Amino acid sequence: AFDLSAHLHHYVAPHVLVVPYPAQGHTNPALSVAKFLADNGISITLVQATNGLLPQIPSHSVHGNQALKIFRKETIPSGLDHSKPLSGAVLKVSFDVMRAALRELLQKLMLEENPPICLLIDSFFGWGNDIAVEFGLSRVDLWTSSATTFYLGIHVQDLVTRGFIPATEEGAKEKIVDFLPGLSPLRVADMPQNLIPEEGLQSGMFIRFRSVIQSAKWADRILINTMYELDTNVIECLRREDHIHIDPVGPLHVDVMSVAPNSSVSLVQQDDHCLSLLDRQQQSSVLYCAFGSLASIDENVVAELAHGLEASGESFLWVIRPDKYKNNASVEEILPEGFMERTRDRGLVISWAPQLSVLGHSSVGAFLTHCGWNSVLESLSNGVPMLGFPQMAEQNTNLKLIVHDWKVGLPLLQQEVNTQKVERKHVQRAITAIMRGDEGLQIRMRAREWKEIAEKAIHGSSKDNLQKLVDDLKQGKL
C-alpha cells in the first residue's frame, strides 16, 4: 500500500526569509503575510531590525501556528540614529547597515540544512534584488502602500518627459495628470510628495523613490497591500501594459487565517480601557482621531483641532502621542488649557489605541486620520467614513482617492485652504459635515458597501493570491 507518512517524512518546507522595514505600517502587513505562509506549511525566518521605528516584536505574537514550529526570528541592527530627524541621509546609513547585516545573516543561513529559497522583502529598501541575485534566491516584494502610488512611480519617466515633474514652476502643481490609462485624473499636487519635491529632480528622496520603484519592477512577484476590487483598473494596467506580476493580497491587517484580529503588533502599550467606554456610546456617535506612528502634529495645530472638536459638540476618542513632543510633555500640557476638563463627559485622550478594534466598534462614526495607507485600509474595511488630514509621504494621494475615487470621506481642510493654517472653524465645519451632514450620510452608506467588498476580498481574491504564492513555493516555481 502507498505509505503517505514516508512521503511526508521527506517533505521539506520551502524556507522564506521575510524582511520587513522596521516601522509599524510596514511590519504589520509583512507579519500578516508571514503568518499566512507559516500556517500553510512554509518555513519562515522573520528578520527584525533592532532599534528600528518600533520595539521588538514579542516572540509569542509571531509564532503563528505553534504546531508547525516553523517560525523563527533573527535580528539585525537597523542602523537608525534616533538623535537625528528621519531624513534621506539617516535612511541611507540605516539601509547600508541593514543590507550588510542581512548579507552576513544569509551567509550563515545558506550553510544550514534547509536554507532559504526565497526573499520576501519590503520594496522600500530598494536593494532586495541585489541580495536575491547574490544568494540565488527568488524574490517577492511587499509594497505596503497604494497601487496608485506604485503606478505613478512606475511612470515617473513619462511624468518627467511630459513636463509634470519637477513641479517647481508657479502653477505647475495645478496641472492635471490624465494620460495614464486606468488612473482617474489627478492634480500634480495630489501626487506623492517624493515625486514633487521642492528641490526638483536632484532631491535625495526623489532619486531614492525612483530607484526603489525601478528595483521593485524586477521582483519575481510583488504583493501589494490592497484589494483587487479597490484598484482594479490600475492593477490591470500594471499587469497588462507594464508586464508586472503584481498580486493584491490586502487588506493585510486582519489575519487571513482568522487569528484574533488584534494580533498585530503595537508600538506602545494599547489602552484597552477605551473599548469599554465605546461600549457605552450610541451607534456611530464617536469621532476617532489618530495620526499613525510617524507623524507629529505641531502643538498649534493640535490646539486648533481641539477647539474645533470642542465646538462641534461631538464625542471623541483621540490618540495623542506624548513621545512626539518636547520633553515627553503630558497630554494636558499639549492640549489647550482646560480642554480635558471641559470635554470630560464626551471625550477621551489616550496615547495609543487598539486601532483595529476601535475602527471595528459600532460606536465609532468617523475617523479623523492622517491617511496613512494602513489606516485607510483599516477604516475602509470597517465601513468607517474618513476625515482626511494628510501629513507627509503619499498621504495626500491617499486622500484624493478617499474623497474623489472611492467617495468614502471628506478632506478636513478644503483644497484652497493652506494646510499650514488649520483654523478651528474649518475643523468644526468638517467634523459636523462628516458626523451629521447629508454628504456624511451618503459617505457612511458607501463606506458600508466597502466593508462588504473588503470582507469578500479577504476570503476571496486576496486569499487566492496568497494561496497561489504558497502553491508556487511548494511547487518550486519561486
123 touches ligand UDX by CB under 6 A: no
E strand or H helix at 316, and its extent? strand 315-319
Closest CA to 44 of 26, 54, 30, 58: 30
Closest CA to 362 of 251, 281, 295, 425: 281
Among 144, 315, 357, 381, binds ligand UDX (CB under 6 A): 144
- Given the complex with ligand UDX, which of 135 and 316 has the nearer CB atom? 316
274-to-92, 277, 319, 363, 455 alpha-carbon distances in Å? 39, 5, 11, 11, 25
Q: Which stretch binds ligand UDX (CB under 6 A): 91-99, 204-212, 391-399, 415-423?
A: 391-399
Among 122, 231, 314, 378, binds ligand UDX (CB under 6 A): 378
| Cβ at position 253, least distance to ligand UDX in Å | 6
Q: Interface mask (CB under 6 A) for ligand UDX, residues 439-468, using x and -?
A: ------------------------------
C-alpha cell, 58: 514579542
- Given the complex with ligand UDX, which of 231 and 394 has the nearer CB atom? 394
- Provide the strand spans (E) within 337-431: 347-350, 364-369, 386-388, 409-411
Q: Cα dihedral sign for 328, 418, 370, 178? A: negative
48 touches ligand UDX by CB under 6 A: no
C-alpha cell, 465: 493570491
Phi, psi (rounded to 5 degrees) for 71: -115, 115
Q: Is 366 helix (H, G, I), strand (E, B) or coil?
A: strand
| Cβ at position 145, least distance to ligand UDX in Å | 4
Among 70, 393, 402, 431, binds ligand UDX (CB under 6 A): 393
CA distance 30 to 124: 12
30 touches ligand UDX by CB under 6 A: no
71 touches ligand UDX by CB under 6 A: no
- Given the complex with ligand UDX, which of 70 and 297 has the nearer CB atom? 297
| Cβ at position 360, least distance to ligand UDX in Å | 11
Closest CA to 431 of 370, 366, 335, 346: 366
| Cβ at position 381, least distance to ligand UDX in Å | 11
Phi, psi (rounded to 5 degrees) for 247: -125, 115
352 touches ligand UDX by CB under 6 A: yes
Q: Which stretch binds ligand UDX (CB under 6 A): 56-64, 180-188, 189-197, 373-381?
A: 373-381
230 touches ligand UDX by CB under 6 A: no
- Given the complex with ligand UDX, which of 40 and 148 has the nearer CB atom? 148
What is the per-residue DSSP string for 225-278? SS-TTTSHHHHHHHHHTS---EEE---TTS-TT---GGGS--SS---THHHHHH
Closest CA to 74 of 57, 97, 53, 96: 57
357 touches ligand UDX by CB under 6 A: no
What is the CB neighbour count within 10 angstroms for residue 389? 24
CA distance 247 to 344: 46
CA distance 122 to 454: 23
126 touches ligand UDX by CB under 6 A: no
| Cβ at position 465, least distance to ligand UDX in Å | 20
Site for ligand UDX (CB under 6 A): how many residues? 26
Bond prior to 411 in cis (omega within 30° of 0): no
CA distance 396 to 408: 15
Among 78, 94, 266, 428, binds ligand UDX (CB under 6 A): 266
138 touches ligand UDX by CB under 6 A: no
| Cβ at position 309, least distance to ligand UDX in Å | 17
353 touches ligand UDX by CB under 6 A: yes
129 touches ligand UDX by CB under 6 A: no
- Given the complex with ligand UDX, which of 94 and 395 has the nearer CB atom? 395
294 touches ligand UDX by CB under 6 A: yes
Q: Which stretch binds ligand UDX (CB under 6 A): 2-10, 38-46, 203-211, 349-357?
A: 349-357
145 touches ligand UDX by CB under 6 A: yes
Burial (CB count <10 Å: 0-12, 13-18, 19+), residue 155: buried
Residue nearest to ligand UDX (CB): 372
- Given the complex with ligand UDX, which of 150 and 373 has the nearer CB atom? 373
375 touches ligand UDX by CB under 6 A: yes
395 touches ligand UDX by CB under 6 A: yes
- Given the complex with ligand UDX, which of 308 and 354 has the nearer CB atom? 354
Q: For helices 88-109 and 204-216, what crossing angle results, to 10°?
A: 30
Binding site for ligand UDX (CB under 6 A): 23-25, 28, 144-145, 253, 266, 290, 292-295, 319, 352-353, 355-356, 372-375, 378, 393-395
